[in-house]
């Protein structure tokens, strides 16, 4: 739902400080005769004017308690692992809705352009995604095409396991999330990745686990049966498998390498 500052603003509560104009990300607020004036065409609905107002002249809700400590944040990161073995417990519709509710706070480059998450839920629905891809590979292997691709990419064994019935794409996940962003959004791809990242950590805090699915993302343009007219005008920016893990990590993962250039 769009945040309209001009509708929320109360002149009687305004302290005349000009903070709203200074923090506005899109220069949609300026001060005139001691009060803010709003340019609704420029406004992207980010709510900064209200969030930083010392007098709460925009009628914002109070913040919840303290954020995570650095130590708690590190623990969240260290506890997360890619999940490739899922328990039989399928996340309920309500649990998935709660999981996705963090999207209300996920930052986007242009606030008003939203994110659409397509939820494929239940083992049958997920295996229905796999079937047409397997069929496509079967047809291609008649022509010798998959054998050549397998040799070039070194993935012959992987392709054969898939053709033999193993779900090497979704790894038996009970739920798959496709993150779509509006095509016209200039920062769309990044917005979608940030959104999926927020969901990934929320999943850990809810006792679930995720697997980023680069294979499904790359296959998506070719897997026409995965498409739906309901995502017209969008592009895919991330695919996440979700479920309750069947295995818990016992030890910390080895550290990753990163560089800092000063
Ligand atoms: C963008 C992205 C795409 C990935 N795609 C796949 C995939 O298609 N299949 C898979 O099994 N793992 C996939 N992974 C998981 C990585 O292999 C995994 O992150 C890596 O093994 C490190 O393990 P960790 O996530 O537990 O730290 C992907 C990870 C990322 C970040």
Residue 42 included in any domain:
yes
Question: H-helix or E-strand containing 127?
Answer: helix 123-142
Q: Is the pLDDT of residue 107 over 70?
A: yes
Segment 211-233 mean pLDDT: 95
By mean pLDDT, which of 9-13, 46-50, 157-161 is the weakest? 157-161
pLDDT value, residue 35: 94
Taking 90 as the threshold, does the pLDDT of residue 101 lie above it? yes
pLDDT at res. 150: 83
Model pLDDT, residue 112: 67
Pair (190, 230) in one structural domain: yes
Choose one of 76, 82, 159 to mutate for the ligand 1 pocket test, by most ligand atoms within 8 angstroms of C-beta: 82
Question: How far does residue 232's CA lie from ligand 1's centre (Å)?
Answer: 27
Residue 1 pLDDT > 80, yes or no? no
Are the C-beta atoms of 207 and 138 separated by less than 8 Å? no
**Greatest extent of the chain over all pairs of C-alpha atoms, in Å:** 77
What range does the domain containing 132 cover? 127-163
Where residue 109 sits, what CATH number does that domain have? 3.40.109.10
What's the chain's average pLDDT?
A: 93
- Claim to verify: residue 88 and residue 122 sit in the same structural domain: yes
User: To test the ligand 1 pocket, which listed residue (161, 189, 214, 223) has its Cβ within 8 A of the most ligand atoms?
Assistant: 214
Q: Which residues line ligand 1 (CB under 6 A)?
A: 81-82, 211-215, 253
Min mean pLDDT across 30-44, 108-122, 161-175 is at 108-122
CB-count exposure of residue 262 (10 Å: 0-12, 13-18, 19+): exposed
For range 72-96, the mean pLDDT: 96
> How many folded domains does the chain comprise?
3
Q: Is the pLDDT of residue 111 over 80?
A: no
Do 43 and 132 belong together in one domain? Answer: no
Q: Within a domain: residue 249?
A: no
Q: Tell me, yes or no, whether 252 lies in a domain.
A: no
Q: What is the pLDDT of residues 125-158, one digit of tens each?
A: 999 999 999 888 888 887 888 888 888 888 888 8
Predicted confidence band of residue 160 (pLDDT cuts 50, 70, 90) = confident
Q: Identify whether 255 is part of a domain.
A: no
Distance, in Å, from the CA atom of 25 to the CA atom of 27, rounded to the nearest integer, reads 6
Q: How many CB atoms lie within 10 A of CB 11?
A: 10
Residues 172 and 219 grouped into a single domain: yes
Residues 212 and 152 in one domain: no
Distance in Å, CA 61 to ligand 1 centroid: 38
The arrangement of strands across the sheet holding 234-243 comes to 116-121, 175-182, 234-243, 209-212
Mean pLDDT of 95-107: 95
Task: Provide, rounded to the nearest whole percent, the portion of the chain with pLDDT above 90.
Answer: 75
Are the C-beta atoms of residues 198 and 105 closer than 8 Å to each other? Answer: yes
> How far away, in angstroms, is 254 Cα from ligand 1 center?
15
In the predicted structure, residue 96 carries a pLDDT above the cut 80:
yes
């Amino acid at each position: 739902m769009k945040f309209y500052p001009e509708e929320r603003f109360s002149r009687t509560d305004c302290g005349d400080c000009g903070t709203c104009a200074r923090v506005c990300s899109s220069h949609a607020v300026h001060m005139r005769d001691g009060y803010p004036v709003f340019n609704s065409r420029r406004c992207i609905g980010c709510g900064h004017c209200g969030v930083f107002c010392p007098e709460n002249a925009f009628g914002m809700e109070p913040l919840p308690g303290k954020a995570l400590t650095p130590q708690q944040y590190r623990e969240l990161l260290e506890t997360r692992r890619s999940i490739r073995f899922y328990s039989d417990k399928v996340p309920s519709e309500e649990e998935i809705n709660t999981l996705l509710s963090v999207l209300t706070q996920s930052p986007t480059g242009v606030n008003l352009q939203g994110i659409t998450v397509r939820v494929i839920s239940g083992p049958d629905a997920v295996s229905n995604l796999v079937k047409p891809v397997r069929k496509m590979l079967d047809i291609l292997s008649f022509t010798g095409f998959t054998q050549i691709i397998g040799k070039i990419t070194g993935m012959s064994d992987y392709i054969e396991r898939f053709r033999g019935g193993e779900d090497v794409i979704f790894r038996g996940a009970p739920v798959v999330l496709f993150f779509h962003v509006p095509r016209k959004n200039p920062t769309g791809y990044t917005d979608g990745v940030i959104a999926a990242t927020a969901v990934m950590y929320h999943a850990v805090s809810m006792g679930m686990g995720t697997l980023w699915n680069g294979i499904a993302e790359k296959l998506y343009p070719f897997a026409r049966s995965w498409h739906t007219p309901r995502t017209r005008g969008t592009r895919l920016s991330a695919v996440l498998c979700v479920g309750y893990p069947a295995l818990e990590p016992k030890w910390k993962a080895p550290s990753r390498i990163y560089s800092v250039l000063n």
